[in-house]
Amino acid sequence: MEHPDNPLLIEALNRMLAKEHGCAIRYATHAAMVTGPYVDPISHRFQEIASDEIGHAGKLRERICALGGTPTMEVDGGGLRAAVTLGEMIEMNLQEERGAIEDYAKILQDVPRLDVLLCRTLEDILKDEQEHLEELIDLAPMREENGSRGQTRVRLDVRTGVTAQQPGVMSSLDSRD
Ligand SMILES: [Fe+2]
Ligand SMILES: [Fe+2]
């Protein structure tokens, strides 16, 4: 479908493509580096999310080509900072997912609704990013050491029906596999 603003749209999609490259590298690195009692399920899930991000990059490349553009091979390294602890990883990924959700939502606003293919593609990616964000929020009790921790657990318990603390969080993580 022809867009009057093709160059701008291609530029925006390429910006997201470079970010997806960075996201895939970040999650894959975190999957390798994570330590602690729940290393296996968390590492596994980070690896799966890295694969999701690679999938997003593939979808963006297809759409960029369809619009007459050239997919970038650049990596946006903005989200690639050193993280050692699980808490740092969760915090970093929360920030990046929130940013991605905002960016994709903005791009979607400028895409004509009748371009169903591009809209669907962006909505599908956005849905994945929202799921990633929700999962990271579920992991947040493992990051926080302050008084808000109890509140977060209560919300999680309502959603998952799990009453345990960290084991409960990890059970819900396992069940998503
Ligand atoms: Fe993504
Ligand atoms: Fe994501």
Query: For the chain, what is the HEC assignment?
Result: CCCCCHHHHHHHHHHHHHHHHHHHHHHHHHHHHCCCCCHHHHHHHHHHHHHHHHHHHHHHHHHHHHCCCCCCCCCCHHHCCCCCCHHHHHHHHHHHHHHHHHHHHHHHHCCCCCCHHHHHHHHHHHHHHHHHHHHHHHHHHHCCCCCHHHHHHHHHHHHHCCCCCHHHHHHHHHHCC
**Rounded distance from Cα 66 to ligand 2 centre (Å):** 23
From the CA of 96, the nearest ligand is 2
From the CA of 93, the nearest ligand is 2
Tell me whether residue 21 is in a domain.
Answer: yes
- Identify the CATH number of the domain in which residue 65 sits: 1.20.1260.10
Question: The pTM is what?
Answer: 0.79
Q: Poorest-confidence range of 35-39, 58-62, 66-70, 105-109? A: 35-39
From the CA of 59, the nearest ligand is 1
Tell me whether residue 153 is in a domain.
Answer: no
**Rounded distance from Cα 167 to ligand 1 centre (Å):** 28
Structural domains counted in the chain: 1
Residue 96 has pLDDT above 80, yes or no: yes
With CA atoms as reference, report the closest residue to 139 among 101, 100, 99, 176: 176
The pLDDT score that the predictor gives to residue 1 is: 57
- Domain span at residue 113? 6-143
Tell me whether residue 175 is in a domain.
Answer: no
**Rounded distance from Cα 149 to ligand 2 centre (Å):** 24
d(C-alpha 6, C-alpha 164), whole Å:
51
| C-beta separation of 53 from 24 below 8 A | yes
Higher pLDDT, 148 or 84: 84
| C-beta separation of 111 from 122 below 8 A | yes
pLDDT tens-digit map of 14-46: 999 999 999 999 999 999 999 888 899 999 999
Question: pLDDT band at residue 143, thresholds of 50, 70 and 90?
Answer: low
Tell me whether residue 152 is in a domain.
Answer: no
Tell me whether residue 154 is in a domain.
Answer: no
Residue 129 has pLDDT above 90, yes or no: yes
Residue 159 has pLDDT above 50, yes or no: no
**Rounded distance from Cα 5 to ligand 1 centre (Å):** 23
From the CA of 121, the nearest ligand is 1
**Rounded distance from Cα 59 to ligand 1 centre (Å):** 10
Higher pLDDT, 6 or 146: 6
Tell me whether residue 172 is in a domain.
Answer: no
